[in-house]
Chains A and B, each alone.
Chain A
């Protein structure tokens, strides 16, 4: 116990797990990292498949391997990368592409906020580091955890999919043309299956939760199919309206401090 008061790296990690309410917490816990990788396996698989399509499309849009890979290495955003290819092909200017990128990714502000609230940071540097790899998919996996998660867990949930996305990108650029179209389409669908599997436990909590998800789904579908808004705005509006409806329907104890301790 006395050791834990020394401000060294080791003791901070130990302090992290002692402070913990759920088992296996703490910055340096390799089991948390392994558990994170295990939870992220479906994302890794899904990203690998989806990014094969990205690599192939990028090559067909005459991007070099390095240009294609840079998109995946540094921006690491599924939908926005596909959109960027579309815009590049239609001859849109650079600043407009970047603006569209920002709009489509605005949703990450809310997702990052939810993830940041979920992680028990033990040192400050973990914050800028773990902010890099938040995506729709790992946000959904992290927030599906009961209680808090450790930085090691969150690191695994981000780095595994990042590696999958990047390996898929280069594989797609190099060998993507070999795959049958129906198989790659079905593999891209794995991401939606993952979302459904993550949503199901929420749906089982009762009608208020079902209506929250259904209203967001309905609003997004209507806006994407029938409105001139881009999918970035459609998604943000749908997510906000579903959540606000949920705040009226879902009992007031959910999301308060007492609820979090219990969870």
Chain B
């Protein structure tokens, strides 16, 4: 069971915390956006759309690999998109997707 033997987990946590925080805090310490070139600002405006595309694919499918039915994600994503089209409330698409995905996984 225990494969980590001599590894000090807390040391890993502390080092990972420092690395993570440096990655996250650096852009926050830039106080003047006026000096940032227009192209960079444009990049940052468009970037969320690309990020969302890459966050969904292939993660939505690979997260279901253990169930043997990765394609069940299609049902969840489809209903989420449909619900988001009709409702501005984010809870509804999320709840609908969980129900549909769970339903698909229940089919024998």
Point out residues on A near B: beta carbons under 8 Å.
39, 41-42, 45-46, 60-64, 67, 70-71, 74-77, 80, 84, 88-91, 93-95, 97-98, 101-102, 105-117, 124, 127-128, 130-132, 134, 136, 139-141, 143-144, 181-183, 185-190, 192-202, 209, 212-221, 224-225, 235, 238-247, 250, 252, 254-257, 259
B residues less than 8 Å from A241 (CB atoms)? 50
B residues less than 8 Å from A60 (CB atoms)? 1
* Alpha-carbon distance between A198 and B101 when the two chains are bound, in angstroms: 19
**Residues B63-108 near A (CB distance < 8 A):** 63-64, 66-67, 73, 76-77, 79-81, 83-85, 90-91, 93-94, 96-99, 101-102, 105-106
* Alpha-carbon distance between A64 and B13 when the two chains are bound, in angstroms: 13
Chain B residues bordering chain A, tally (CB within 8 A): 77
A residues less than 8 Å from B41 (CB atoms)? 117, 255-257
Q: Looking at the complex, which one of B7, B97, B105 makes contact with A93 (CB distance below 8 Å)?
A: B7
Q: Looking at the complex, which one of B14, B49, B64 makes contact with A212 (CB distance below 8 Å)?
A: B49
- The DSSP consensus for interface residues of chain B is helix
* Alpha-carbon distance between A15 and B91 when the two chains are bound, in angstroms: 34
A residues less than 8 Å from B85 (CB atoms)? 200
Besides the contacts A88-B3, A213-B50, what 20 more A-B pairs have beta carbons closer than 8 Å?
A41-B91, A64-B9, A80-B20, A90-B3, A105-B20, A109-B24, A130-B28, A132-B24, A132-B25, A143-B48, A183-B102, A189-B73, A192-B56, A192-B73, A201-B84, A238-B50, A243-B43, A246-B50, A255-B45, A256-B42
Contact yes or no, A216 B76, CB < 8 A: no
Contact yes or no, A185 B50, CB < 8 A: no
* Alpha-carbon distance between A254 and B43 when the two chains are bound, in angstroms: 10
Contact yes or no, A97 B101, CB < 8 A: no
Q: Looking at the complex, which one of A91, A127, A186, A202 makes contact with B49 (CB distance below 8 Å)?
A: A202
The winner among B12, B64, B101 for most chain A CB atoms within 10 A is: B12
* Alpha-carbon distance between A150 and B105 when the two chains are bound, in angstroms: 41
* Alpha-carbon distance between A128 and B101 when the two chains are bound, in angstroms: 39
Contact yes or no, A196 B77, CB < 8 A: yes
B residues less than 8 Å from A139 (CB atoms)? 48, 51
